[in-house]
């Protein structure tokens, strides 16, 4: 079938590490990387889960469009980082009029709790529900880009709270990377690159007392490359 017209949509892969308690050394659950999805109420693919987004208007650029649609459809105002990722242009990726999709990576810090509509939920990336169209591969592609960027940039600032114990930061990096991270190595690497610094504050003690852990913060909340050849690899 020959396509006589083409439309363009923008879709956001929004991640957050959930299950993190930044204000205490206690855990609020197993930290895990989640992605924001909404459930389709109409055909095609009724009942399946989709990335938030929609059609690009004639009077807007891609970034303005994705920000507008996240604000309108999901009321997501706590986005700490947003960047364009990839273009999906298979002629048959959706039924009907040929639709090209541009994907964006969005990050929400822990422990923010954006207010979501009833049809929108956070889902663990490791256990995605039935996904509409090619949205599953889009999530996988975005996760791979996030993993790479955690190694050579300071993008962790967009997943972390304003202040955090090193154990909390380790949990966030481990959840996002998909493998355990050694807290001492993480501290050494990020301090050497001047990515994190001590705040002078300490975390409140848990039930068992002990020496309170020092609190850290990211030195800046603007994305930058810190070591273009670095890689945070799994242990062993």
pTM across the whole model: 0.92
The model's confidence at residue 68, banded by pLDDT at 50, 70 and 90, is very high
Q: What integer pLDDT is reported at residue 27 of this predicted model? A: 47
More confident residue, 21 or 61: 61
Could you give the CA distance from residue 215 to residue 220 in angstroms, rounded to a whole number?
15
**Whole-angstrom distance, CA of residue 11 vs CA of residue 17:** 20
Alpha-carbon distances of 218 from 148, 165, 234, rounded to whole Å: 19, 12, 23
**Do the Cβ atoms of 56 and 10 come closer than 8 Å?**
yes
Q: pLDDT value at position 24?
A: 47
Name the percent of the chain lying above pLDDT 70.
89
pLDDT tens for each residue of 218-236: 999 999 999 877 777 776 5
Beta-carbon contacts of 99 under 8 Å, excluding residues fewer than 6 positions away, are 6, 7, 8, 9, 93
DSSP 8-state secondary structure symbol assigned to residue 143: H
- Residues 120-141: what's their mean pLDDT? 97
How far apart are alpha carbons 225 and 51 in whole angstroms?
A: 27
Q: What would the mean pLDDT of 66-92 be, rounded to a whole number?
A: 89
Strand 196-202 and strand 164-165: the pairing is: unpaired
Q: What is the dihedral of CA 22, 28, 29, 33, to 10 degrees?
A: -30
pLDDT tens digit sequence for 194-212: 999 999 999 876 555 567 8
pLDDT tens digits along 28-43: 568 999 999 999 999 9
Q: How many helices (H) and strands (E) does the chain have?
A: 4, 10
- Which superfamily does CATH assign the domain made up of 6-218 to? Nucleoside Triphosphate Pyrophosphohydrolase (3.90.79.10)
> What 3-state class would DSSP assign to 92?
coil
Report whether 80 contacts 109 (CB < 8 A): yes
**Of 197, 224, 221, 201, which is closest to residue 212 (Cα–Cα)?**
201
Mean pLDDT (the chain) is 90
| Contact partners, residue 36, CB within 8 Å, separation at least 6 | 12, 14, 15, 16, 51, 52, 74, 76, 108, 116, 120, 121, 122, 123
153/2 Cα distance (integer angstroms): 43
* Longest pairwise C-alpha distance within the chain: 70
């Amino acid at each position: 079938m020959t396509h006589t017209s083409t439309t363009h949509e923008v879709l956001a892969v929004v991640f957050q590490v959930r299950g993190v308690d930044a204000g205490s050394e206690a855990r609020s659950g197993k930290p895990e990387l989640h992605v924001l999805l909404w459930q389709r109420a109409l055909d095609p693919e009724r009942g399946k889960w989709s990335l938030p987004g929609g059609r690009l208007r004639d009077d807007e650029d891609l970034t303005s469009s994705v920000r507008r649609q996240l604000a309108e459809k999901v009321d997501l105002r706590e986005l700490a980082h947003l960047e364009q990722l990839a273009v999906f242009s298979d002629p048959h990726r959706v039924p009907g009029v040929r639709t090209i999709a541009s994907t964006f990576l969005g990050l929400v810090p822990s422990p923010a709790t954006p207010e979501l509509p009833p049809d929108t939920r956070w889902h663990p990336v490791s256990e995605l529900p039935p996904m509409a169209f090619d949205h599953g591969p889009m999530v996988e592609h975005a996760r791979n880009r996030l993993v790479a960027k955690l190694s050579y940039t300071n993008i962790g600032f967009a997943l972390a709270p304003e202040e955090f114990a090193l154990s909390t930061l380790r949990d966030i990096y481990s959840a996002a990377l998909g493998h355990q991270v050694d807290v001492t190595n993480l501290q050494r690497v990020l301090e050497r690159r001047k990515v994190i610094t001590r705040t002078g504050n300490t975390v409140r003690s848990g039930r068992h007392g002990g020496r309170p852990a020092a609190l850290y913060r990211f030195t800046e909340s603007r994305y930058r490359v810190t070591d273009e050849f670095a890689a945070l690899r799994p242990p062993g």
